[in-house]
Amino acid sequence: MALRFSTRKTQRFYYQLDGEDESYVLIYGDEIDIRDGASFKGPDYAKAVYRGREGAVRKYSIGGEKKPDVGTERAMEMYFLDVGQGDAAFIVTPGGRKILVDGGIRRTTTTDFLVWKYRLDKPNTRLTIDHLFLSHADEDHVVGLIPLLKHPRVTVKNIWHNGIALYASGYNEKLGHVADDKLHTLHSSLDDLDGADLTDTFGEWIAAVREQGANYAALSKADGAVDVGDPDVRMEITSPIKESDGTLLWLKDKSHTINGHSLTFRLVHGHVRVCFSGDMNVEGGKHILAQPGGALSLDAHVFKSPHHCSHEFHIPYLDAVRPLITVVSSGDSPDHGHPRASFLGAVGRSGRSDHHLVFSTEIAATFTDTGEADAPAPEVPEGTDPDLMFATTELNRMARRRFKQALPGIINVRSNGREIFAARRVQAGYQWEAYEAIDMTDYP
C-alpha cells in the first residue's frame, strides 16, 4: 500500500457496486492508496483504495510514463462546515495535525462530520484533535462542541479561548465586572472558574471541558504565535488585545464586547495566508488596526468572514485582509438576514483579484434535499446523557449516514503552500464545483 494524494483539480475514482460501474470525483489533496496489481478497469488504470473502497484511478502520461496523477505531499485541508447560523471549521495541516475552530449551534453537525471523515462508525477507530479554538462563547459557536468533547472515541489535547466567561449572576454584566470602560473579569484556567455561577450553556461547556481533560488556556495577541506541532504551519494570534493592566476594553455592550474580542488568528502555510476572524465587528476591527502592524497582521488570501457576514463590519478591516477567497458561515435559523448584501458587496470590492471567490455555506447547502440531515437525533434511553448519541457503533453509523446528506454545505479549501484550490459539492453524488489552482506568485 502506498499512501498518496490527488494532485489534480478533480479526477474520478471508479469502483463497482452490485456489478455496475460507479465513480466518485476526487479533488486536489484527497488521500488515496495506490495498490500493486491489475485494476478492474484495465491497464490504463491503477488499482486504488479510497475511504476503504477498492477501485481504480486513471493513469496519465507524466514525464514519458503512464501513471496515476498523485503525489506524496499532503496538502493543508480546510473544511468550512454548514452548521446553520454559526461557525465551525476543521483544518488538517500538512503534518497531519488536526485543528477545530468553533462548533456551531447544532449539537450534532460538527461531530457528525468528524464521524463521517474519520469513519468513527468502524470498530476501533479513534480521533485526536490537537487544537480546538473557541473564538468566543456565544451559543452559535460553542454548543456543537459540547457533544464532541463527550464522544468516547474523540480526544482533544488543547483548548484555546479568548478568556471571557458568561456568568448567570454575581456581576452587573454577564461577562463579569465592568469598570472604567474595561472588562476586568477574565479567566484562563478551569481553576479560575471554581465557584462561579455560569450561564447554563457556558456551564455545560466547562463541565464537558473538565470531563475531557484537555489543556485549557486563554490566548491574546501578546502570546504572539501558537506552536501547532507542524513546522510547515505558523499560527499568529491577532486578537483579543489586552490593555496594559490585563483588562479588555468594554466595546459598547455585552454582545459587542464578546464579539469584538473574539480569539482570531492568521494561519500561514508557505506563501498562503488564512485569516480566521471569529465574530469581529467594527469596534474590534478598529482596535486591531490601531495596533502597530495591525493591518499587516490581517493580510490573507483566504478569509473566514466575520460574524456570519452581518452588517456590522469595518471596511478598512476588509481592505487590510484583501482576500482571494472568502467563506461566509451563516444560516437561516434563526434568521438574522445573513449574509447581508452590504457585506458581500464590500468584501467583493476589497478582494485582491478580479476573480474573487465568495462562498456561503448556507447557499451551498440550499440546493440539496438534506433528507436524514434534518432528521431528529436518535432516542436516548432515560437517564442517559443525551450528548452520548455517538456512544455505540450503530449510533455512529446513523451519524455518518445523517451527515452524508449534508456534504454540499462544506466549502473545501486546499493549499500546498504555493497554490490554493477551492471546491464545494453540488450534490450528494460526489459532483463538484471546483476552481482552477490560484498561484500565490501572482498574488503576493
pLDDT tens digits for range 104-133: 988 888 998 999 899 888 888 999 999 999
Pinpoint the residues of the chain covered by CATH 3.60.15.10: 76-369+405-442
Higher pLDDT, 297 or 399: 297
Is the model's pLDDT at 55 over the cut of 60? yes
Least confident of 18-32, 51-65, 140-154, 395-409: 395-409
Is the model's pLDDT at 368 over the cut of 50? no
Q: Name the grid cell of 5.
A: 494524494
Is the model's pLDDT at 70 over the cut of 90? yes
Give residue 11's pLDDT.
95
Q: How confident is the model at residue 246 (pLDDT cuts 50, 70, 90)?
A: very high
As assigned by CATH, the class of the 2-71 domain is mainly beta
Higher pLDDT, 68 or 380: 68
Q: How confident is the model at residue 402 (pLDDT cuts 50, 70, 90)?
A: low
Q: What is the mean pLDDT of residues 232-260?
A: 96
Pinpoint the residues of the chain covered by CATH 2.30.30: 2-71
Give residue 304's pLDDT.
93
Q: Is the pTM of this model over 0.85?
A: yes
Is the model's pLDDT at 333 over the cut of 80? no
As assigned by CATH, the class of the 76-369+405-442 domain is alpha beta
Give residue 80's pLDDT.
94
Give residue 401's pLDDT.
66
Give residue 31's pLDDT.
95
186-231 confidence digits (pLDDT tens): 999 999 999 999 999 999 999 999 999 999 999 999 999 999 999 9
Q: What is the mean pLDDT of residues 155-169?
A: 97
247-300 confidence digits (pLDDT tens): 999 998 999 999 999 999 999 999 999 999 999 999 999 999 999 999 999 999
